[in-house]
Structure 1
């Protein structure tokens, strides 16, 4: 299944770096990266992986020995990710108050890693199993989203059964624990469901019937253990927000409200099953984002069909100085992100409307491929495109913005204050009126 390394180191160091327990409603993630090649990445990202917009994405700056230590907000037991150098995504499980330690050997190809600390057996098994099994979901074939449910669902269930057999064999061959098996089975169904989030069928009734089909058992709270499950709830809330009226008070309903449209009325705090979660999601946001803390780096800009490079700059500071006293609507996207491309296409009318006005549209491309970017952006008109080539700089930007996912949207006002509070998406009908107010 996988080769072990640094086992003694992980065991010895975890108790040193994680001796102080993490605060309530958070986890402590510590570790060491060995064998970093010259010019290799000196940052690592720990992603809380929750559905709400405040979900935390923490950057860890590696010290001279390759060590790091971060505390991440965490409100219930579920899986999260540790990402190093875009080549290694480690999925692990934690509960509030846990400490997790990771040892990474960057000199190996592929990069090798070990997990220890709380839930050590579960995380060793699960993290490597997820890496080994992830490829089976690239081969899933589903019917078009507009096919009738009676035709779509049998194909969907057939794919779930097919991949489940692969997972079952892997579990048996590697003698994995029941706890690990539970996570892998949940990942199996919701990884495939994530490829069906656009299902519409023959209308709203079929859409609702699909997302609430018994195969998903959506009211079962064990589902929240895997990070991919909330995206299923998000798709349900996007298409069928009225379904909330029939859902009893529960952790699942709490998550549905967090995933619902902004115009869905949220009940009082006392109506939430987890009031701490309510406080995290709905507490007042910070008035503005302090982007002055961002380390400068290199970027590639496409402006008015001209491409040029800029070195040693803070991209937000650059936008502010490039377009003084003008509001900037900033879309943070990635080339591989389908919703990002769809949103940019949907925003063409808004960008055209403001073409000769003060509002500037800018797209900040992170974690993206340069060749893909070069082909994509010429067809996205009336916008300034900024490509960040360096992974460490991308990580720092994502942490500064506390980016929950792609796409994300921000406004920089005429005075240079930056905020992500209640900024409409490109496909939101309120966007033009929102920008007029600036």
Structure 2
């Protein structure tokens, strides 16, 4: 089985002369210049990885000379991804300022990576890291997706594990060649090694889902042998120095969380919640308890445990606007999450969310609906939007894909401004307090209804809604022109224009 090499110790993390990484967030400045850029594409995307939290997503605008600059804060060393035409990584410490130059008009990836010049803090390290990416991201083993998909589809579990071991030897060869040619400093060498090692786990954990999908099987039904994921525990204990590998370590945290889920799903006492295949139907309060105590039970490493617990609570805040679990398990939060780079941002997120829940601010038109039948609801919507085309968006506060489409819906609403088109949003199976907080965060106009559980069930049944987001388009006569999950805003635009022209 794969044995992860544990690298240098905490000494390296604090040996650069910078203090209080874990207690105080510091500014990191990323600036640069892109030559031969596309004048129709002035956006450069930057993602800063944060252990335990969602990445910081930044969009910087290029000026007329191709210059850009952005600033963010971090408690700890990490890596960031920069994307313009292609994506690459650089490593940063709190307090760093780096300058990136690259040529956007290149013929291939080799030329793209060769054009990258990084100056400022950690310049030598980042030159080495870019050298590694040039070798790895242009190698046959990385770019040959057809070969990878063929292995996933055709190999059984044991065969695939052998395939991964063989692949890892090839990756080790790329790493050794990189070390020989570039003579990287210790930090860059370890960044490259850890990145390659995490590719093993990424492939290992992705296999069950994609093997089923490529073979036309239900993705929730395919089972791997017991202990298939256990190899990930060979990476423990985690040393603090791995914090600098933000991207790879974030993937490790995600994969380890999947390992924990596999463990509790196999426990005898939890089989009563299994509905079909790998699906479970568990009351929220019990699900929270299983999540929290399983993290503690199956994560012996204290650093990793703190990070995964933080991520669980942070995901509750960001994805579901839910604070009850955090409040219920305050003793566990206080006893198990002690590192300041986790504790401080987590409590700040909680305080901000609680304020929004207690005092929601929104611009939306909230409409009270007291009826019980779907017919009454549709009649109300049509009465309020007489002789208009009505675009109905069925969503929920806990539905990530639903909320991800809201910016597109806002954009569509702007394009249809002044036309006979109404935008109606039906929130299903959600708490009123969380719904209103979401409206404030989404900052979306239109007409908004909150359906209770009974109303939601009736509406789902009448329109055959199996999953959300789900959309319904009514013509000016109040008839259903089209419905379904495929009718997302970017598609609905053309359908609405057709109805307007009738």
Alignment check: 8 A CA contact 1:48 1:73 kept: no
Alignment check: 8 A CA contact 1:24 1:96 kept: yes
Q: 1:247 to 1:323 in 2, by over 3 A?
A: same
Alignment check: 8 A CA contact 1:361 1:384 kept: no
Q: 1:195 is matched with which residue: 203, 219, 227?
A: 203
Number of residue pairs matched?
307
Q: 1:202 to 1:63 in 2, by over 3 A?
A: closer
| 2:183 alignment partner in structure 1 | 175
| 1:318 alignment partner in structure 2 | 412
* Cα distance in 2 between the residues matched to 1:354 and 1:77: 53
Higher share of residues assigned helix = 2
* Cα distance in 2 between the residues matched to 1:94 and 1:235: 24
Q: How does 1:277-288 map to 2 (within 5 A)?
A: 277-282=342-347, 283-284=349-350, 285=352, 287=356
| 2:321 alignment partner in structure 1 | none
Unaligned runs of 5+ in 2: 1-23, 209-221, 262-293, 317-324, 365-390, 393-406, 429-437, 439-456, 472-482, 492-502
| 2:337 alignment partner in structure 1 | 272
Q: 1:245 is matched with which residue: 297, 317, 334?
A: 297
* Cα distance in 1 between the residues matched to 2:229 and 2:130: 33
| 1:184 alignment partner in structure 2 | 192
* Cα distance in 1 between the residues matched to 2:30 and 2:161: 40
Q: 1:35 to 1:199 in 2, by over 3 A?
A: closer
SS of residue matched to 2:423: coil
| 1:28 alignment partner in structure 2 | 29
Q: How does 1:45-60 map to 2 (within 5 A)?
A: 45-50=45-50, 52=52, 54-60=54-60
Q: How does 1:28-427 map to 2 (within 5 A)?
A: 28-39=29-40, 41-50=41-50, 52=52, 54-84=54-84, 87-109=85-107, 110-111=111-112, 112-135=115-138, 136-139=141-144, 141=148, 147-148=156-157, 152-198=160-206, 205-212=226-233, 214=234, 216-217=235-236, 219-226=238-245, 227-241=247-261, 242-248=294-300, 250-260=302-312, 262=316, 267-269=332-334, 271-282=336-347, 283-284=349-350, 285=352, 287=356, 315-319=409-413, 323-327=422-426, 355=463, 361=469, 381-387=484-490
CA deviation after TM superposition for structure 1 residue 199, in Å: 5.1
SS of residue matched to 1:184: helix
* Cα distance in 2 between the residues matched to 1:94 and 1:351: 51
Q: 1:193 to 1:203 in 2, by over 3 A?
A: closer
Larger Rg: 2
Alignment check: 8 A CA contact 1:30 1:70 kept: yes
Q: 1:128 to 1:381 in 2, by over 3 A?
A: farther
* Cα distance in 2 between the residues matched to 1:97 and 1:82: 18
Unaligned runs of 5+ in 1: 1-22, 293-302, 305-312, 331-348, 364-379, 389-438
Q: 1:317 to 1:166 in 2, by over 3 A?
A: closer
CA deviation after TM superposition for structure 1 residue 203, in Å: 5.6
Q: 1:35 to 1:73 in 2, by over 3 A?
A: same
> Relative CO higher for 1 or 2, CA cutoff 8 Å, sep ≥ 6?
1
Alpha-carbon displacement from aligned partner over 1:196-251 (angstroms, at most 9, x marks no partner): 22356966841441322x2x346233333321222222122134142532535733
- TM-score normalized with structure 1 length: 0.58
Alignment check: 8 A CA contact 1:43 1:62 kept: yes
| 1:299 alignment partner in structure 2 | none
* Cα distance in 2 between the residues matched to 1:350 and 1:195: 42
- Is the deviation greater in 170-179 or in 279-288? 279-288
CA deviation after TM superposition for structure 1 residue 182, in Å: 0.9
* Cα distance in 1 between the residues matched to 2:101 and 2:363: 31
CA deviation after TM superposition for structure 1 residue 90, in Å: 2.0
* Cα distance in 2 between the residues matched to 1:31 and 1:291: 38
CA RMSD of aligned residues (A): 4.1
CA deviation after TM superposition for structure 1 residue 29, in Å: 0.7
